[in-house]
Amino acid sequence: MKNILQRFFIVVFPLTFLLYYGSFKYLRNYQIRQEKYVVERGNVYIRNKISDDLSFIRNELSKIKEGKNNIPKQSKQKKRIFSNNEPVERIVEKKVNIEDEYPHKPWKHQKLDEYIGEHGKPDSKSCAKKEHIYFLKTSKTGGTTFANILQRFGYSRPGTNFLMGECGNGAMFFANGEMPFNLDVCFVGRDFKDRPKFDISFVHMKYNQTAVNELMQPDTFKVSILRDPVENFISSWRYYNGLIKDFREMIMKDIPVEKRPKEGEDPDYFLEIEQFLTKPVDYLSDYAYSHAAHLMVMNPQLVFFGVPSYLLKMNYQFGHQLVDSWLHGIASDFDHILILEDLDRSLAILMLKLCWTIEDVAHLKLNTMKKNDKKLSSGSIKRLRDFNWGDIRLYNYFKAIHDHQIKEIGENRINDIARRIEARANQISSECLETIKSGEQWIQSLKLKPEKMKNQTCFMMTKDMGPYIHEDQVTRWKQQFPNWRMSEKDLADMKFKGSQTPEFCSKDKFAEFLTKREKNYRAFLKWKTNEYDILQTPPEYLEEFLKPTGNDEVFRILN
């Protein structure tokens, strides 16, 4: 038995090993052959794909070459290097058939001297006052001054409909993230199908031509305002410091500790800006386009015109044609752009375009910021201009149009009107205001003389009338449009409500705002007036509103 087992192991074991090894080797060789086959097939595919791509590229290059050969010699030009210092080709003479595009705006296809004039003057008999005005209020550009002009102009004409958001100042800039204003954004009367066309708008928003044209009167005159981009950037950084606090804190980490303000000291905004401009795109890279760091830092004026200026991270060499197309569109659509650095002459031109009077454009400069002795270094200013080249181009474009129109109308005529505007402003200031010593306040709010606190003219010249305009318009609309009411379902969830609560898209938020300001507006309407005030007696639709309710829990505005 032992011998049999020995023979078995001697014979069978080697055979088993040979069979196993042979099978393994065969399988391994098969696997290698398969891998070689796959690689070879892949190489064939890649070679064919490359060959196809090369053939396509050769064909396209041939077409381009043929196209170039067909260009007349006189049309060939050397590659041009564009500089942001070059002026944009200005739209002074109309280059399109604007008469067809703007049938309700005859001034669009007229020369300036054919429609401008000063209302009431013998040589301006043919001009008529324009009363439908859309003002795109940009930020930190002096826009509050002209917004106040429009508030008073519209308020003096009972029945004027104002396009405003459902908030205190009516602003709608942040209402839609980085996207422009649209008809879904919450504004007074948004969900009311029978709402009238709006006559005036003076609020912050990111412009949308289609939506604005849908809401405003067809013959609306469009205005905006611009400021030197370097000064605007610095002012925005200082004013919106709270909105970009986390952004500023990130930048401060890159500033040596010994250079940072000590605890309890005021922020050094210029130090922050200098550091930011060393690598602005990198600092912005982690922030959404809807964040104030983008909206208020990167081309903060151009963004108001509804274009995605926060995307302009390329050099102007590669993006100037895109921006120029935006500028031509703005110039065609808007009827006047005010220039802050030459405000009185800008207003003089606008006054003539609107056929207004000196009294219509009378104003005091509002919300001016205290000047800072610090300045950015020349290197930082150059980097800022390179970074926000879109705003630089925007400003230069409309500043050139402004200068051209002064010459076209006549510099002596414009200067004379500007002097009269300034003289009226000085007169109002002398009558209404206390003297404020320079440096007393960061934001230079105007302070009324004690005896002028309840003077209608002085008060309206210095205050935001937005809340009172809300009260006035909502009260009037309630009477004009009985169907403009909140549904029972929505009322059930509201805290601030009454028997006649209008349909507000922001529900309690706006209702609460109105109730808190109702008493103030009622008191304002009861002030003693004189022959110089713009609204000497309240309109009839406010008669019921003026009656006290006798109950602090009951509000006229909602009942």
The confidence band for 121, taking pLDDT boundaries of 50, 70 and 90, is confident
Could you read off the pLDDT of 53-65 as tens digits, one per residue?
Answer: 455 545 555 554 4
pLDDT at 210 (0 to 100) = 96
182 lies in a domain? no
Could you read off the pLDDT of 284-305 as tens digits, one per residue?
Answer: 999 998 899 888 999 999 999 9
Residue 15 has pLDDT above 70, yes or no: no
Which pTM value belongs to this model?
Answer: 0.81
For residue 498, what are the contacts with CB-CB under 8 A and spacing of at least 6?
554, 555, 557, 558, 559
How many domains are contained in the chain? 1
Q: Which of 68, 168, 215, 135 is nearest to 465 (CA)?
A: 168
The number of angstroms, rounded, from the C-alpha of 404 to the middle of its chain's C-alpha atoms is: 26
Which residues span the domain enclosing 50? 1-60
Q: What is the DSSP secondary-structure string of 399-468?
A: HHHHHHHHHHH-HHHHHHHHHHHHHHHHHHHHHHBPPPPTTS-SEE---B-GGGTT-HHHHHHHS--HHH
Residue 159 has pLDDT above 70, yes or no: yes
Q: Which of 289, 306, 434, 442 is nearest to 369 (CA)?
A: 442
Tokens 């930082």 correspond to 380
530 lies in a domain? no
Residue 130 has pLDDT above 60, yes or no: yes
The confidence band for 251, taking pLDDT boundaries of 50, 70 and 90, is very high
Give first-to-last CA distance, the chain, whole Å. Answer: 117
Residue 48 has pLDDT above 90, yes or no: no
11 lies in a domain? yes
Residue 101 has pLDDT above 90, yes or no: no
| Angstrom distances, CA of residue 188 to CA of 52, 161, 215, 469, 510 | 60, 10, 12, 11, 9
Could you read off the pLDDT of 163-200 as tens digits, one per residue?
Answer: 999 998 999 998 888 899 999 999 999 999 889 999 99
Task: Give the count of beta carbons closer than 10 Å to the beta carbon of residue 519.
Answer: 14
Could you read off the pLDDT of 351-374 as tens digits, one per residue?
Answer: 999 999 999 999 988 766 566 678
pLDDT at 186 (0 to 100) = 96
304 lies in a domain? no
Residue type, 483: N
39 lies in a domain? yes
135 lies in a domain? no
pLDDT at 308 (0 to 100) = 87
Task: Return the axis-axis angle of helices 378-387 and 269-276, rounded to nearest 10°.
Answer: 60
pLDDT at 93 (0 to 100) = 42
The first and second tokens of residue 287, run together, are 């922030």
pLDDT at 10 (0 to 100) = 62
What's the rounded mean pLDDT across residues 128-135? 96
The number of angstroms, rounded, from the C-alpha of 43 to the middle of its chain's C-alpha atoms is: 55
As a whole number, the mean pLDDT across the chain is 84
What span, in angstroms and rounded, lies between the C-alpha atoms of 441 and 369?
Answer: 8
54 lies in a domain? yes
The confidence band for 140, taking pLDDT boundaries of 50, 70 and 90, is very high
What's the rounded mean pLDDT across residues 439-463? 82
Is 536 in a helix, a strand, or coil?
A: coil
pLDDT at 84 (0 to 100) = 59
- Name the percent of the chain in helix, strand, coil, to the closest 5: 55, 5, 40
538 burial level (CB within 10 Å; 0-12, 13-18, 19+):
middle
What's the rounded mean pLDDT across residues 194-223? 97
Q: Which of 548, 545, 526, 523 is nearest to 537 (CA)?
A: 526
The first and second tokens of residue 307, run together, are 């274009």
pLDDT at 198 (0 to 100) = 98
pLDDT at 102 (0 to 100) = 79
Does residue 443 or residue 446 have the better pLDDT?
446
Given a contact cutoff of 8 angstroms between Cβ atoms, the answer to whether 415 and 349 are in contact is: no
- Looking at the chain, the whole-number percentage of residues with pLDDT higher than 70 is 78
pLDDT at 166 (0 to 100) = 96
What span, in angstroms and rounded, lies between the C-alpha atoms of 77 and 325?
Answer: 22
399 lies in a domain? no
What's the rounded mean pLDDT across residues 420-435? 93
Which residues share a beta bridge with 198? 216
The confidence band for 433, taking pLDDT boundaries of 50, 70 and 90, is very high
| Angstrom distances, CA of residue 81 to CA of 71, 315, 542 | 21, 12, 63
